[in-house]
Amino acid sequence: EDKVVQSPLSLVVHEGDTVTLNCSYEVTNFRSLLWYKQEKKAPTFLFMLTSSGIEKKSGRLSSILDKKELFSILNITATQTGDSAVYLCADTGANSKLTFGKGITLSVRP
């Protein structure tokens, strides 16, 4: 059975801090690993990672995948209160099926 584990489950930081969110996975027929940000409504897509060692970057957010060790990290630098959200990690296996982790609740205090 596919499995995705995220850590920590919750995190409280102050504005300006840098945070690292972790995701480990076990999946048959791995295709990709995805990160989503969820505020009050639907999860919104952040990154899709398919190759090891290649960092993807968008503004203050970046992510990287290690297919040998089966994990990914999401980094957020110079955090802002608008970064407060639940961050979801998911892997894609057979039949395009995504398996999600439980999510990491990030709270950024002013």
Partner 1 sequence: DVKVTQSSRYLVKRTGEKVFLECVQDMDHENMFWYRQDPGLGLRLIYFSYDVKMKEKGDIPEGYSVSREKKERFSLILESASTNQTSMYLCASSLLGGSSPLHFGNGTRLTVT
Instruction: Pick from 23, 25, 43, 64 the residue near partner 1 by CB under 8 A.
Output: 43
The contact pattern for partner 1, residues 63-102, with x = CB under 8 A and - = no contact, is -------------------------x-x-xx-xxxxxxxx
What lies within 8 Å, CB to CB, of 108 at 6+ separation is 13, 14, 15, 17, 79, 80, 81, 82, 83, 84
Which range binds partner 1 by CB under 8 A, 13-21, 30-38, 60-68, 70-78? 30-38
**Residue 36: how many CA atoms within 13 Å on its side-chain side?**
18
Strand-pair category, 10-14 with 104-109: parallel
Residues near partner 1 (CB under 8 A): 31-32, 34, 41-45, 48, 50, 88, 90, 92-93, 95-103
